[in-house]
Structure 1
Amino acid sequence: MKVLFAFENPLPSNEADAEVFTTTARYLARHVQQSWLHLPLAAGTAAEPAARIAGMPVVRAWAPVRPAALRHLLCGLTLIFRREFRRADIIYTRNLWVAWMSVLARRRVVFDHYRPWGDQIPPLQFWIHRLHCHPRFLLNICHSDYTRRKYLDLGVPAAKLHCVRNGFEPARLQAPVAPETAKRQIGVRPDQATVVYTGRLNHKKGLDLVLQAARILPDILFILVGSTGPGPIESMAAGRRNIRIVAFRPDATLAQYIFAADILLIPPSHKPLATFGSTVLPLKLFLYMASGRPIVGGDTPDVREVLTHRCNAWLCRPDCVASLVGGIRAVIGDRALASRIAAQAGLDSRDLTWDARARRIAELIAANAAAQPRRHGQWSARHSRTWLRQSGRWLAHLARTRAWVLPPAPLA
């Protein structure tokens, strides 16, 4: 089987979507006969760095890097004219437009994305339903069961929807370091209690809640790793003695901060999922689980798929500072509890590697590619009513906030 991986953003990139797509492609390529990566490159940029990242030859897209809308449009329009496209048995993409163009050009498609697009941009629901029900649309690889259920609600056949969660790279944690040693390495006293967050430092991640908790817990050092320069979170943290802002760290040095944590933090907020729709099951979660450090997170629908309160993590009531403060105190103050939930998370992470993810996807592709193509799935009157109602909500939300993503109904 020959696979053309189509990615619509330039590489190299520090964005999570680039890590997910290129790492999945690199591991999945081991299970196929031949593979290529189609992506846009800036004029004068060599393809070799991107080829090294993905571990396969790069096909330069006939598309400019900027503006982004034109880049996305042309990546889909011109892809179908490439020789590698005609040679490929499968087009593997995270872009619905690329998937649609590929299906129209008589290629089978596997789609891999974390967002429930029909829920977030409801006017697209009927088109998304038609695309998913096309015989040449083989699979939607959802990153969470939360997203899979949203597509099921659209009437997409269950056989085309599979939850295959993201993973982590074991090599990033190959040389574990004791917390006291790791703290010394980053200039922290060995006896200083620490809460560590790694990832983007912006208003979409629920970090305002973390800063409030830090104000109540002055004896605990909060280390926020991932700053890319001055911003609202950096300004709010300025002058706070128990908050340390650390610039973005590459994989080679990020582990130092993870191992220096008494608690690894996933901000317990509905905002990333419900308000911005930009995060479903954060990628850092899987690395955290394998680190041997206890996790404190939020009791949100996506996180609950992987983490269980007092079993492999401590889960707090979302958007509640008191609950977060109580959770941090509980884990810091009970070493037996911290050790137990960290150990269980480590055990649970064994099947959550990128290699395991690629193997599962390869099995699904092989099974579906061998099956007889058929069109199935039905758009009912109920779907039409939901489509119209949610599209109205979306238009009102867009007019009021200028935000394209419609927040979901209140989350449980």
Structure 2
Amino acid sequence: MFQAKNKPAEIGTYSPDDCLFLLKDLSKIKLEDSTVNRELKIQTGGHYSESLPIEYQPPKDYIELFWNTLHEYKHKVALCIGVAAEQIFSLKGKNTVLVSLARAGTPVGILIKRYIQKRYNVSLPHYSISIIRDRGIDENAIAYILGEHPEGRIQFVDGWTGKGAISLELTQACRRYEGKFGIHLDDTLAVLADPGHCTSVFGTREDFLIPSACLNSTVSGLVSRTVLNNTYIGKNDFHGAKFYKELMDADVSNTFIDIIAGEFAGILEQASGIAVQRLNENITAEFLGMQAVQKIQAEFGIENTHHIKPGVGETTRVLLRRVPWKILMRDKTSPFVKHILMLAKEKGVEVIEYPDIHYLCCGIIKSVKGNKP
């Protein structure tokens, strides 16, 4: 388990009061590879966590779209943060330890922390740690948190759900942890948006554009995706990440946080009311996303469900850091897919009208090892 040499990394552009990163700093190591090379390695037995994509630097009109979206939907995002935060605090109280899943969960965790501080005058500890599909959660990071907060009640936080792969990974990881160490961890994942119906703690189940999904590290504290490569990560190390200091001029991470948090004063009572109502409902995780994915897989003859990414957030990720094949779109007129249409046009990706899906859109990754999608 945890070794004393591990401590929070001094990386990222967030204040330590907002978030502590339990990650190993790999900034001096070249881990990036081209999108096509990475995709080929992933599809022929490698793992996505062993390398990093080259950070996409969007054009000026895309950045302008981010700012327009942020200002247009800042109130909606703030309300969703408030609803999730109210549920968390009602369920776990002052002993809550917020543990966001890097990196999409990090800004959401910071906003939940900021909301609870404003609403209840309680400053909850907040850590950002790594979880990796098929490889589990960073157990050294969990051990560190439990050592620092023996009476703490961990609440895992992420940005959104797609088909539920990370939710299922978290459940499996928590079971493994309890089996190894006899310590029970609550596997309920709190998210801003849950279009996949994968959890009971969420701001909304609407598939809408969370502005932070538009960008990569420049809205996540300039911290990369997390890395688990045995060449650089020992068994007692935290999982790794890079700090992209060279992108400092493009960083909007704290501005994003401040703009959303600036809306909290106007949504406190509404958020509380929605949260109370939700806590009195019998909300279950039905994993509707996986049903949609299986239908798409059969219809398009797709070999691997990992290549199907439903929802606005996941489709954005496909376009930003994978090799996209097609985009399925329920409603091209939705304001939440403007950036997706822009990226698809830039990258020459076909967009297909696909009304028979409860998500707004779905990204499909291209097979680069053969002719099948």
TM-score with structure 2 length normalisation? Answer: 0.32
Structure with higher RCO (Cα < 8 A, 6+ apart): 2
Larger radius of gyration: 1
